[in-house]
Amino acid sequence: MSTGKSAVRKAMGVFALALIAGAVSAQTVVVGAKGFTEQQLIAELTSQLLAANGFKPDKRVGMGTAVLRQALDSGQIDVCWEYTGTALSNVYKDTEKYTPEQGYEKIRTLDAAKGVVWLKPTRVNNSYGIGMLRAKSEKLGIKSISDLGTAYKSGKTMPIGVNAEFSQRPDGLPGVQKVYGFTVPLDSIIKMDFGLSFQALRDGQVESAMVTTTDGRIISFDLVVLNDDKNFFPFYVMTPVVRKEVLDKNPKLGPVLESLSAKLDSETMQKLNAAVDVDKKSMESVAAEFLKQQGLIKG
Protein backbone atom coordinates (compact mmCIF):
# COMPACT_ATOMS: atom_id res chain seq x y z
CA MET A 1 0.00 0.00 0.00
CA SER A 2 2.80 2.42 0.95
CA THR A 3 4.64 1.45 -2.23
CA GLY A 4 1.56 2.44 -4.26
CA LYS A 5 1.31 5.80 -2.50
CA SER A 6 5.00 6.40 -3.02
CA ALA A 7 4.62 5.73 -6.73
CA VAL A 8 1.70 8.15 -6.94
CA ARG A 9 3.66 10.84 -5.10
CA LYS A 10 6.62 10.27 -7.38
CA ALA A 11 4.42 10.55 -10.47
CA MET A 12 2.84 13.73 -9.15
CA GLY A 13 6.28 15.15 -8.48
CA VAL A 14 7.40 14.39 -12.01
CA PHE A 15 4.21 16.00 -13.34
CA ALA A 16 4.79 19.12 -11.22
CA LEU A 17 8.36 19.39 -12.45
CA ALA A 18 7.10 19.09 -16.00
CA LEU A 19 4.65 21.93 -15.41
CA ILE A 20 7.40 24.10 -13.94
CA ALA A 21 9.70 23.31 -16.86
CA GLY A 22 6.90 24.20 -19.26
CA ALA A 23 6.31 27.52 -17.53
CA VAL A 24 10.01 28.32 -17.61
CA SER A 25 10.30 27.40 -21.29
CA ALA A 26 7.43 29.72 -22.22
CA GLN A 27 9.68 32.76 -22.33
CA THR A 28 7.85 36.07 -22.18
CA VAL A 29 8.64 38.32 -25.14
CA VAL A 30 7.41 41.91 -24.97
CA VAL A 31 6.29 43.09 -28.42
CA GLY A 32 6.11 46.85 -28.90
CA ALA A 33 4.42 48.82 -31.68
CA LYS A 34 3.35 52.30 -32.70
CA GLY A 35 -0.23 53.47 -32.86
CA PHE A 36 -1.26 53.16 -36.51
CA THR A 37 -2.91 50.19 -38.18
CA GLU A 38 0.13 48.62 -39.84
CA GLN A 39 2.11 48.66 -36.61
CA GLN A 40 -0.73 47.29 -34.52
CA LEU A 41 -1.34 44.61 -37.11
CA ILE A 42 2.30 43.51 -37.31
CA ALA A 43 2.34 43.33 -33.51
CA GLU A 44 -0.73 41.05 -33.61
CA LEU A 45 0.83 38.89 -36.32
CA THR A 46 4.00 38.63 -34.25
CA SER A 47 2.15 37.82 -31.03
CA GLN A 48 0.13 35.01 -32.61
CA LEU A 49 3.21 33.59 -34.29
CA LEU A 50 5.24 33.70 -31.09
CA ALA A 51 2.45 32.00 -29.12
CA ALA A 52 2.32 29.22 -31.71
CA ASN A 53 6.05 28.68 -31.25
CA GLY A 54 6.17 28.30 -27.51
CA PHE A 55 6.69 31.91 -26.44
CA LYS A 56 4.49 34.01 -24.19
CA PRO A 57 3.90 37.32 -26.02
CA ASP A 58 3.17 40.52 -24.13
CA LYS A 59 1.84 43.04 -26.69
CA ARG A 60 2.16 46.78 -26.02
CA VAL A 61 0.96 49.08 -28.80
CA GLY A 62 0.14 52.75 -29.30
CA MET A 63 3.59 54.30 -28.87
CA GLY A 64 5.10 57.12 -30.87
CA THR A 65 8.36 56.62 -32.75
CA ALA A 66 10.60 58.18 -30.09
CA VAL A 67 8.84 56.40 -27.22
CA LEU A 68 9.06 53.04 -28.99
CA ARG A 69 12.79 53.44 -29.46
CA GLN A 70 13.27 54.51 -25.85
CA ALA A 71 11.34 51.45 -24.72
CA LEU A 72 13.60 49.23 -26.83
CA ASP A 73 16.82 50.84 -25.59
CA SER A 74 15.72 50.68 -21.96
CA GLY A 75 14.60 47.05 -22.15
CA GLN A 76 10.92 47.78 -21.61
CA ILE A 77 10.17 45.96 -24.87
CA ASP A 78 12.08 43.13 -26.52
CA VAL A 79 10.86 43.17 -30.11
CA CYS A 80 9.42 45.70 -32.53
CA TRP A 81 9.15 46.22 -36.28
CA GLU A 82 10.85 49.43 -37.31
CA TYR A 83 11.53 51.15 -40.62
CA THR A 84 15.09 51.71 -41.82
CA GLY A 85 14.59 55.33 -42.88
CA THR A 86 12.80 56.17 -39.65
CA ALA A 87 15.59 54.85 -37.45
CA LEU A 88 18.37 56.45 -39.50
CA SER A 89 16.67 59.84 -39.48
CA ASN A 90 15.29 59.92 -35.96
CA VAL A 91 17.92 58.03 -33.98
CA TYR A 92 21.07 58.98 -35.88
CA LYS A 93 19.95 62.17 -37.68
CA ASP A 94 21.24 60.60 -40.90
CA THR A 95 19.59 62.20 -43.92
CA GLU A 96 21.80 60.63 -46.60
CA LYS A 97 20.07 59.03 -49.57
CA TYR A 98 20.45 55.26 -49.57
CA THR A 99 19.15 52.38 -51.62
CA PRO A 100 16.99 49.98 -49.57
CA GLU A 101 19.97 47.65 -49.19
CA GLN A 102 22.36 50.42 -48.19
CA GLY A 103 19.95 51.84 -45.65
CA TYR A 104 19.44 48.43 -44.08
CA GLU A 105 23.17 47.75 -43.80
CA LYS A 106 23.83 51.19 -42.34
CA ILE A 107 21.23 50.97 -39.59
CA ARG A 108 22.10 47.33 -38.89
CA THR A 109 25.74 48.28 -38.34
CA LEU A 110 25.01 51.39 -36.28
CA ASP A 111 22.54 49.64 -33.98
CA ALA A 112 24.74 46.58 -33.48
CA ALA A 113 26.99 48.76 -31.33
CA LYS A 114 23.99 49.48 -29.10
CA GLY A 115 22.98 45.85 -28.64
CA VAL A 116 20.07 46.14 -31.07
CA VAL A 117 19.80 43.53 -33.81
CA TRP A 118 18.09 44.13 -37.15
CA LEU A 119 17.02 40.74 -38.51
CA LYS A 120 16.31 39.95 -42.16
CA PRO A 121 14.09 42.69 -43.59
CA THR A 122 10.70 42.40 -45.26
CA ARG A 123 10.09 43.72 -48.78
CA VAL A 124 7.70 46.30 -47.32
CA ASN A 125 8.67 49.90 -48.09
CA ASN A 126 6.16 51.98 -46.17
CA SER A 127 7.34 55.42 -47.16
CA TYR A 128 5.76 58.72 -46.33
CA GLY A 129 3.96 60.61 -49.06
CA ILE A 130 1.53 63.44 -49.64
CA GLY A 131 -1.85 62.33 -50.94
CA MET A 132 -4.74 64.07 -52.65
CA LEU A 133 -8.10 62.95 -53.91
CA ARG A 134 -7.59 61.93 -57.53
CA ALA A 135 -10.38 64.26 -58.69
CA LYS A 136 -8.83 67.18 -56.80
CA SER A 137 -5.36 66.43 -58.15
CA GLU A 138 -6.66 66.40 -61.72
CA LYS A 139 -8.76 69.54 -61.24
CA LEU A 140 -5.85 71.56 -59.82
CA GLY A 141 -3.20 70.00 -62.05
CA ILE A 142 -1.12 68.97 -59.05
CA LYS A 143 0.69 65.74 -59.80
CA SER A 144 3.92 66.19 -57.85
CA ILE A 145 5.21 67.76 -54.64
CA SER A 146 6.86 70.41 -56.81
CA ASP A 147 3.42 71.24 -58.22
CA LEU A 148 2.11 71.53 -54.67
CA GLY A 149 4.98 73.86 -53.80
CA THR A 150 4.20 76.04 -56.81
CA ALA A 151 0.62 76.36 -55.61
CA TYR A 152 1.75 77.54 -52.17
CA LYS A 153 4.22 79.99 -53.71
CA SER A 154 1.40 81.49 -55.77
CA GLY A 155 -0.48 82.23 -52.57
CA LYS A 156 -3.17 79.55 -52.79
CA THR A 157 -4.83 78.59 -49.53
CA MET A 158 -4.43 74.82 -49.35
CA PRO A 159 -4.90 73.18 -45.93
CA ILE A 160 -2.74 70.10 -45.45
CA GLY A 161 -3.55 67.40 -42.89
CA VAL A 162 -0.63 66.02 -40.87
CA ASN A 163 -0.16 64.35 -37.53
CA ALA A 164 1.94 65.97 -34.81
CA GLU A 165 4.94 63.74 -35.50
CA PHE A 166 5.06 64.41 -39.25
CA SER A 167 4.79 68.15 -38.62
CA GLN A 168 8.07 68.08 -36.68
CA ARG A 169 10.17 65.21 -38.06
CA PRO A 170 13.16 66.09 -40.24
CA ASP A 171 11.93 63.47 -42.71
CA GLY A 172 8.44 64.97 -42.52
CA LEU A 173 6.93 68.33 -43.43
CA PRO A 174 9.91 70.49 -42.32
CA GLY A 175 12.21 68.54 -44.62
CA VAL A 176 9.73 68.60 -47.50
CA GLN A 177 9.48 72.39 -47.30
CA LYS A 178 13.25 72.80 -47.12
CA VAL A 179 14.05 70.52 -50.05
CA TYR A 180 11.22 71.74 -52.27
CA GLY A 181 11.64 75.38 -51.34
CA PHE A 182 8.17 76.36 -50.19
CA THR A 183 6.47 77.26 -46.94
CA VAL A 184 3.04 76.14 -45.80
CA PRO A 185 1.38 78.92 -43.78
CA LEU A 186 0.93 77.88 -40.17
CA ASP A 187 -2.84 78.32 -40.36
CA SER A 188 -2.88 75.87 -43.30
CA ILE A 189 -1.18 73.08 -41.32
CA ILE A 190 -4.08 71.13 -39.85
CA LYS A 191 -2.91 68.70 -37.19
CA MET A 192 -4.99 65.57 -36.69
CA ASP A 193 -4.63 61.92 -35.83
CA PHE A 194 -3.27 60.01 -38.80
CA GLY A 195 -6.40 57.94 -39.41
CA LEU A 196 -8.62 61.02 -39.59
CA SER A 197 -6.75 62.50 -42.56
CA PHE A 198 -8.49 60.22 -45.06
CA GLN A 199 -11.95 61.35 -44.01
CA ALA A 200 -10.71 64.95 -43.98
CA LEU A 201 -9.57 64.58 -47.60
CA ARG A 202 -12.85 62.98 -48.62
CA ASP A 203 -14.91 65.64 -46.86
CA GLY A 204 -12.90 68.54 -48.29
CA GLN A 205 -11.58 69.71 -44.92
CA VAL A 206 -8.03 69.57 -46.32
CA GLU A 207 -6.66 69.67 -49.87
CA SER A 208 -3.78 67.28 -49.23
CA ALA A 209 -2.58 65.10 -46.38
CA MET A 210 0.28 63.02 -45.17
CA VAL A 211 -0.11 59.35 -46.11
CA THR A 212 1.94 56.21 -45.80
CA THR A 213 2.30 54.30 -49.03
CA THR A 214 1.12 50.88 -47.83
CA ASP A 215 -2.14 52.21 -46.40
CA GLY A 216 -5.10 50.27 -47.78
CA ARG A 217 -7.27 53.38 -47.82
CA ILE A 218 -5.28 54.94 -50.67
CA ILE A 219 -7.13 52.65 -53.08
CA SER A 220 -10.53 52.73 -51.40
CA PHE A 221 -10.59 56.55 -51.14
CA ASP A 222 -9.27 56.92 -54.72
CA LEU A 223 -6.25 58.94 -53.70
CA VAL A 224 -3.09 59.70 -55.60
CA VAL A 225 0.29 59.95 -53.90
CA LEU A 226 2.01 63.01 -55.32
CA ASN A 227 5.22 62.25 -57.19
CA ASP A 228 8.22 62.84 -54.94
CA ASP A 229 10.11 64.30 -57.91
CA LYS A 230 13.12 65.37 -55.85
CA ASN A 231 13.34 61.98 -54.12
CA PHE A 232 13.07 63.50 -50.66
CA PHE A 233 11.48 60.64 -48.75
CA PRO A 234 13.92 57.87 -47.85
CA PHE A 235 13.19 54.16 -48.09
CA TYR A 236 11.39 52.84 -45.04
CA VAL A 237 11.94 49.09 -45.13
CA MET A 238 10.03 47.36 -42.34
CA THR A 239 12.28 45.02 -40.37
CA PRO A 240 12.02 42.97 -37.16
CA VAL A 241 14.29 44.47 -34.50
CA VAL A 242 15.30 42.64 -31.31
CA ARG A 243 17.46 43.38 -28.31
CA LYS A 244 20.62 41.26 -28.59
CA GLU A 245 20.35 40.19 -24.95
CA VAL A 246 16.93 38.68 -25.65
CA LEU A 247 18.06 37.07 -28.88
CA ASP A 248 21.07 35.45 -27.20
CA LYS A 249 18.81 33.91 -24.55
CA ASN A 250 16.30 32.72 -27.15
CA PRO A 251 18.10 31.51 -30.31
CA LYS A 252 14.80 30.28 -31.74
CA LEU A 253 13.34 33.80 -31.71
CA GLY A 254 15.24 35.11 -34.73
CA PRO A 255 14.20 32.38 -37.17
CA VAL A 256 10.56 32.64 -36.01
CA LEU A 257 10.44 36.39 -36.70
CA GLU A 258 12.26 36.00 -40.00
CA SER A 259 9.74 33.40 -41.13
CA LEU A 260 7.16 36.20 -40.99
CA SER A 261 9.33 38.90 -42.58
CA ALA A 262 9.94 36.57 -45.55
CA LYS A 263 6.20 36.56 -46.29
CA LEU A 264 5.68 40.33 -46.37
CA ASP A 265 5.98 42.80 -49.24
CA SER A 266 4.38 46.20 -49.88
CA GLU A 267 1.40 44.84 -51.82
CA THR A 268 0.66 42.18 -49.22
CA MET A 269 0.90 44.68 -46.38
CA GLN A 270 -1.44 47.10 -48.14
CA LYS A 271 -4.03 44.34 -48.54
CA LEU A 272 -3.74 43.37 -44.88
CA ASN A 273 -4.10 47.01 -43.82
CA ALA A 274 -7.14 47.37 -46.08
CA ALA A 275 -8.76 44.31 -44.51
CA VAL A 276 -8.71 46.17 -41.19
CA ASP A 277 -9.31 49.78 -42.22
CA VAL A 278 -11.62 49.29 -45.19
CA ASP A 279 -13.29 45.91 -44.66
CA LYS A 280 -13.47 46.50 -40.89
CA LYS A 281 -12.25 43.03 -39.97
CA SER A 282 -10.66 42.55 -36.57
CA MET A 283 -6.88 42.54 -36.39
CA GLU A 284 -6.99 39.20 -34.63
CA SER A 285 -8.92 37.53 -37.45
CA VAL A 286 -6.85 39.16 -40.22
CA ALA A 287 -3.62 38.07 -38.54
CA ALA A 288 -4.81 34.52 -37.90
CA GLU A 289 -6.09 34.05 -41.44
CA PHE A 290 -2.84 35.29 -42.98
CA LEU A 291 -0.61 33.18 -40.75
CA LYS A 292 -2.66 30.07 -41.53
CA GLN A 293 -2.68 30.79 -45.28
CA GLN A 294 1.10 31.15 -45.23
CA GLY A 295 1.57 27.95 -43.26
CA LEU A 296 3.15 29.78 -40.33
CA ILE A 297 0.61 28.45 -37.85
CA LYS A 298 -1.69 25.47 -37.99
CA GLY A 299 -5.26 25.99 -39.19
Task: Check residue 86 and give its pLDDT.
Answer: 94
Q: pLDDT confidence of 27, banded at 50, 70, 90? A: very high
Q: Which CATH class is domain 128-225?
A: alpha beta
Asked whether residue 3 carries a pLDDT value surpassing 50, the answer given is no
Q: What is the CATH number of domain 2-125+235-293?
A: 3.40.190.10
Task: Check residue 25 and give its pLDDT.
Answer: 53
Would you say the CATH fold of 128-225 matches that of 2-125+235-293? yes
DSSP for the chain?
Answer: -HHHHHHHHHHHHHHHHHHHHHHHHS-EEEEEEESSHHHHHHHHHHHHHHHHTT-EEEEEEEE-HHHHHHHHHHTS-SEEEEEHHHHHHHHH-------HHHHHHHHHHHHHTTTEEE-S--B-B--EEEEEEHHHHHHHT--BHHHHHHHHHTT----EEE-TTTTT-TTSHHHHHHHHT----GGGEEE--TTHHHHHHHTTS-SEEEEETT-THHHHTTEEEPB-TT--SPP-BEEEEEEHHHHHH-TTHHHHHHHHHTT-BHHHHHHHHHHHHTS---HHHHHHHHHHHTTSS--
Kindly report the pTM of this predicted structure: 0.83
Residue-wise pLDDT tens digits, 210-227: 999 999 999 999 999 999
13 vs 92, more confident: 92
Residue-wise pLDDT tens digits, 161-172: 999 999 999 889
Asked whether residue 88 carries a pLDDT value surpassing 90, the answer given is yes
Average pLDDT, the chain: 92
Task: Check residue 14 and give its pLDDT.
Answer: 42
In the chain, where are the structural domains located? Answer: 2-125+235-293, 128-225
Residue-wise pLDDT tens digits, 104-132: 999 999 999 999 999 999 999 999 999 99
Task: Check residue 11 and give its pLDDT.
Answer: 43
Q: pLDDT confidence of 195, banded at 50, 70, 90? A: confident
